[in-house]
Structure 1
Amino acid sequence: MTTTEPFWTDPLPAAAPPPSMALHQLPTGTYRTRAALAVTGGSFRDTREFAATAVLITHPQGDLLIDAGFGAHVDEHIRMLARVERAPYEVGTTAAQQLDDAGYERSRLTGVLVTHVHWDHVSGLDSLRVPIWINRDEMRYAERDAHGAVFRAVSQGLELREYELDGPPYLGFPSSFDVHGDGSVVVAHAGGHTDGSVIVFVALPSGDRYAFIGDLTWQRDGITRGAQRPWLLRRMADIDAETVRLGLRRAIALSKLMRIVPSHDLGAYDSIPRLAAGGIDA
């Protein structure tokens, strides 16, 4: 995949994150696959641990989780998958339990903003039981696609907080939604992996910026080498591989300006602190 054409060359858009805003990672488990099945050019001798990690954004206007990781009933959720999609996995502590262990006041959590509805991003909704932030295109995908089965199960009885991606283009992506109106959390439509898959851009008061790119690529090789998923996996995992390729090129163009976090790359979360007991100010 060539990356010679720049997609974003302007200064980053202004953002005014409040001083108390912060990020925390909540790792909930991993599953294993061969690098050859994760990224073009990967080796069958190389085993990759895929992260299932939620990210907590604290903000005075209301906190959000990006995705939910593994839930309390992840074993049941994996049994709902086609056999070819199952992989060896290790379960950690659910995001819900990590919040409780940290003494987090759950009333602060306004919901889970899903990058997309595949099982490994939504399983943890079974124990969080908070509103789901989702756009219309992704909701339609969840209703009709076989890969939405786990989402349909865990979302039963939960409030669906539908947002519109009716804002302007953002960092090369076609449309956006500014969650708080201050540029600190901006959701941009990516598409291709699923109909309504999104990227969540976060600007911190430190000046650091993050792009949580969901499954545009599963591993950082996709950013550092421009490597797509292998052909067969593109056929299985993406609804429009060309749109994913375009989104990946847009993300690569941003990689010198911010930290790019593919959802399933363990090392991509290294700069984000974990929750600790009493670690979040009221």
Structure 2
Amino acid sequence: MTGTLPVASPPAEMMIFQLPTGTYLTRAAFAVTGGAFADQRSFASTAILVQHPKGDLLIDAGFGAGADAHIESLPSYRRSPHDRAETASAQLDAVGYDRQRLLGVLLTHSHWDHVSGLDSLDVPIWMTAEERRYAADSTSDSVFDSVSRNHEIREFTIDGPAYLGFPRSLDIHGDGSVVVVSAAGHTTGSIIVFIALPDGRRYAFIGDLTWQLDGITGRLEKPLLMRKLADSDTKQVRRDMERIIALQDRLQVVPAHDARGYVGIPLLVTSPVGSR
């Protein structure tokens, strides 16, 4: 991409924070094409708090209080050794965060390691109708079904103008600060969330479009077997990866499971705007 980025007018009070909730181990051979079997990657499970005067959102929920049981509920081939940190809910409470500010959890998709933390977050779940159907039809991951009970589901439609090469978008606050696009390849309702901050920094939270930054910087897809097991539409994943690869020099790309992508995003360790 050589043109200017879309105009955004994020309010001066807008901030983002990372809330790491734990990690799990995956061999690089299962993460990126050409990865070494001996190379063990620590996959992050991190929520992002987006603070905005019109209301805050969490991007994904990370590990929850019941993460151990959630992992046990998965097929054996999907279980990995994991280390748990404080849940997103506990991290919010630790800084005295005012939960009334939180509009909900915006899911990049409904796989267990993105939704586990909903078990301790009594807030609406924001997702596309396509992703809701995907989660309902899943036969190998029942975690969303268990943690979403009694939650309000706020379905949204991505029917706005093209954005950074993606054919349709949704501008959450109407100021270009939080823009959602469809990336329906990993799951049938996956999304990417673009963030524009008042200091000029831009981010693309790409969920599981690729599991590691190598996928963007090295143009490396998931290994063939993992593509067949994990992705709903491998051709769509490839198209969306090309779009993000074209943007990598213009903004910070954050694959959900690569801690390197979160570098520079502050931790929620002091009271943010909106604390009691």
TM-score (normalised: structure 1): 0.96
Distance 1:97 1:140 in 2: 30
Does 1:101 find its partner at 2:94?
yes
Q: What whole-Å deviation, never above 9, does each CA across 1:98-121 have from its counterpart, x for those lacking one?
A: 000011111111100000000000
1:175 aligned residue:
168
Counterpart residue type for residue 246 of structure 2: A
Distance 2:139 2:152 in 1: 22
Deviation at 1:21, TM superposition (A): 0.1
Counterpart residue type for residue 53 of structure 1: T
The answer for unaligned runs of 5 or more in structure 2 is none
1:134 aligned residue:
127
1:55 aligned residue:
48
Deviation at 1:175, TM superposition (A): 1.2
Q: What whole-Å deviation, never above 9, does each CA across 1:198-256 have from its counterpart, x for those lacking one?
A: 00000000000000000010000001100000000001000111110111111000101
2:230 aligned residue:
237
1:4 aligned residue:
none
**Structural RMSD (CA):** 1.0
Distance 2:140 2:14 in 1: 34
1:75 aligned residue:
68
1:213 aligned residue:
206
How do 1:220-231 and structure 2 match up within 5 A?
220-231=213-224
Q: Secondary structure at the match of 2:269?
A: coil
Distance 2:12 2:134 in 1: 37
Moved over 3 A (4+): 279-282
Distance 1:281 1:113 in 2: 19
Distance 1:240 1:167 in 2: 23
**Contact 1:51-1:265 at 8 Å conserved across structures:** yes
**Contact 1:125-1:154 at 8 Å conserved across structures:** yes
**Contact 1:122-1:154 at 8 Å conserved across structures:** yes
How do 1:175-194 and structure 2 match up within 5 A?
175-194=168-187
Counterpart residue type for residue 55 of structure 1: I
Distance 2:271 2:75 in 1: 41
Counterpart residue type for residue 173 of structure 2: H
Counterpart residue type for residue 80 of structure 1: S
Q: How many residues in Structure 1 have an aligned counterpart in Structure 2? A: 275
The answer for unaligned runs of 5 or more in structure 1 is 1-7
**Contact 1:32-1:48 at 8 Å conserved across structures:** yes
Q: 2:32 aligns with which of 32, 35, 39?
A: 39
How do 1:119-158 and structure 2 match up within 5 A?
119-158=112-151
TM-score (normalised: structure 2): 0.98
Deviation at 1:44, TM superposition (A): 1.0
Deviation at 1:64, TM superposition (A): 0.1
Q: What whole-Å deviation, never above 9, does each CA across 1:245-275 have from its counterpart, x for those lacking one?
A: 1111110001010000000001111110001
**Contact 2:57-2:105 at 8 Å conserved across structures:** yes
Q: Secondary structure at the match of 2:246?
A: helix
1:199 aligned residue:
192
1:261 aligned residue:
254
Deviation at 1:80, TM superposition (A): 1.4
1:5 aligned residue:
none
Q: Share of identical aligned residues, percent?
A: 57
Distance 2:97 2:78 in 1: 34
Q: What whole-Å deviation, never above 9, does each CA across 1:154-201 have from its counterpart, x for those lacking one?
A: 000100011111111111112111100000000000111001100000
Does 1:9 find its partner at 2:7?
no
Q: What whole-Å deviation, never above 9, does each CA across 1:42-90 have from its counterpart, x for those lacking one?
A: 1111110000000000000000000000000001111111100111101
Q: 2:81 aligns with which of 88, 96, 102?
A: 88
Deviation at 1:129, TM superposition (A): 1.6
Deviation at 1:277, TM superposition (A): 3.4
